[in-house]
Structure 1
Amino acid sequence: MSELRDAAGLRILIVGASSGIGHAVARRAAARGATVAVAARRVELLTELAESIGGTAFELDVQDAKAIEKVVPQAVESLGGSVDAVLFTSTVVPFAYIEDTDVATWLHAYAVNALGANYVLRASLPHLSEDGVVLITSSREVGRPRAGVAAYDASKAALDEILNAWRSEHPDLSLIRVGMGPTEDTEILRGADRDLLEELFKSWVEHGQLPAQMSELDDVANTLVSLVTAAYANPSVVPEIVQLSPRIRKRPSKEETGS
């Protein structure tokens, strides 16, 4: 199958692209023809990515509203003064039982997952092209909380309400909220306490909250790019809320594989 080039000519800013989903989205968007600017905290990884896809990199901590106000216009300028799509994929997942979740952890989760997305959207709004699209990743698990991720779940629920307010006050905005399901190779467990994770995994399995398989990273990235290209090409329609879930595929039996 030949490579899609349906994003050719699109100017895209991806926030949270140093690893995981944002990194994969940047690669897929560039492969499909887009001009890409990327922003995140880990500038060394970001610079390497930008060089590999012919894009531009900007250091940005999404907890810093003033930095967002400064960096977003710079990134837009690197794209030619306007942007056709902004994707916010930055996220933090603090793992802790709710009684052990301290104030700093709660504030950090809200600052990145909810307020960071809000301020990036606000800073991007004046620079969107006429049919411009904003895509923000949330969580498929909002309303279905699991043990050990209270700050994450609550911050994503807050994000959903923030996006509802944006839709109410800006009905002309093409705003896509994507509930992300379990995805491979995202670094979501980076730095987490392994003993705690073992306990949490057991709880999730017992409550049927851990799928047998996870979505592949490149498939998720391609899906997000496709949502953007479809929304941009069809500006009278907004896919407002999209949920991504792993497709649990039947594993071949020994008889089928001949082993």
Structure 2
Amino acid sequence: MRDERKAVAPVAGKAVVTGASSGIGAATARRLAKDGFEVVAVARRTERLRRLAEETGARPYALDVTDDEAVRRFAAELDSCDVLVNNAGGALGAESVAEADPADWERMYSVNVLGTLRVTQALLPLLRAGRGGTVVTVTSTAAFTAYEGGGGYCAAKYAERALSETLRLELCGEPVRVIEVAPGMVRTEEFALNRMRGDAERAAAVYENVDHPLTADDVAECVALAVGLPQHVNVDRLVVRPLAQAAQHKLHRGPLLRP
């Protein structure tokens, strides 16, 4: 017997994007605004948020996702939330486990994992209250494949992946989707530079001779795709890599795409 129910497409509403002052977060804020969402762009750097707001019409909100009380105040100021994009995060250092600084690991866990937890917990009542909410967490292929020098970052992203998978199970039966977008190599203006502690030469070497690494806009398109599907369609995990990267340890360096 044919199912006569009509697919319910999500209606653009209010979207909160964390880590929105640069990179994937800023690109996602732009993309969702283009799709008609009222975007609340969240990050620590107020001047960058101001410029993004002038460009897109997004509402800027200065927030440190590691601050419990600040996150609670932010949630209390919202009257609704239809989409949450947990993007705030980053990597610090590329040392081996034997040489890593525990403070770097603490910072990565605090921002990537506990920041995602705090914001999700605070906004979940609003996401549950609407006709259908969506939680998107931007993780990484590091969330399921470890690599040398990536112990702390991989550990944080593995934890974010576990958080997303657990939340999806716990919300089963409610109209809230839980989506993970896991990018591979993405070239942004800050990620590798921050990881290499400002060493521009080491940061550039990460992408050397790689034909077309992903861009922040590429990942934003993936977020928009998953969010824009009918509400009954849940993309559990969307893994996206550049063509040159077949796997975490399989990367082609050299010409690839024809003009």
Shorter-normalised TM range: 0.7 to 0.9
Aligned residue pairs, count: 234
Deviation of residue 50 (structure 1)? 1.3
Contact 2:29 2:58 (C-alpha < 8 Å) held by counterparts: no
**In the alignment, which residue of structure 2 is the partner of 1:94?**
92
SS in 2 for 1:141: helix
Give structure 1 stretches of 5+ with no counterpart.
Answer: 1-5
SS in 1 for 2:232: coil
**In the alignment, which residue of structure 2 is the partner of 1:169?**
170
Distance 1:246 1:121 in 2: 29
**In the alignment, which residue of structure 1 is the partner of 2:132?**
131
SS in 2 for 1:189: helix
Give the letter for the 2:227 counterpart.
V
Cα deviation, 1:230-253, whole Å, max 9, x if unaligned, reads 1xxx2222111111111349432x
SS in 1 for 2:192: coil
Contact 2:12 2:35 (C-alpha < 8 Å) held by counterparts: no
Contact 1:39 1:58 (C-alpha < 8 Å) held by counterparts: yes
In 2 relative to 1, CA 159–8 (structure 1 residues): closer, same or farther, beyond 3 Å?
closer
Q: CA RMSD in A?
A: 2.6
Matched, 1:235 2:241: no
Deviation of residue 100 (structure 1)? 2.2
Q: 1:71 aligns with which of 62, 70, 74?
A: 74
SS in 1 for 2:242: coil
**In the alignment, which residue of structure 2 is the partner of 1:85?**
83
Matched, 1:24 2:30: no
Give structure 2 stretches of 5+ with no counterpart.
Answer: 1-8, 245-254
**In the alignment, which residue of structure 1 is the partner of 2:221?**
222
SS in 2 for 1:168: helix
Deviation of residue 196 (structure 1)? 9.1
**In the alignment, which residue of structure 2 is the partner of 1:197?**
202
Matches within 5 A, 1:151-170: 151-170=152-171
Distance 2:228 2:73 in 1: 27
Contact 1:86 1:135 (C-alpha < 8 Å) held by counterparts: yes
Deviation of residue 219 (structure 1)? 2.3
Contact 1:29 1:225 (C-alpha < 8 Å) held by counterparts: yes
Give the letter for the 1:113 counterpart.
N
**In the alignment, which residue of structure 1 is the partner of 2:242?**
246
**In the alignment, which residue of structure 2 is the partner of 1:36?**
39
Contact 2:43 2:63 (C-alpha < 8 Å) held by counterparts: yes
In 2 relative to 1, CA 73–244 (structure 1 residues): closer, same or farther, beyond 3 Å?
farther
> Normalising by structure 2, what TM-score?
0.81
Deviation of residue 149 (structure 1)? 2.1
Distance 2:181 2:218 in 1: 14
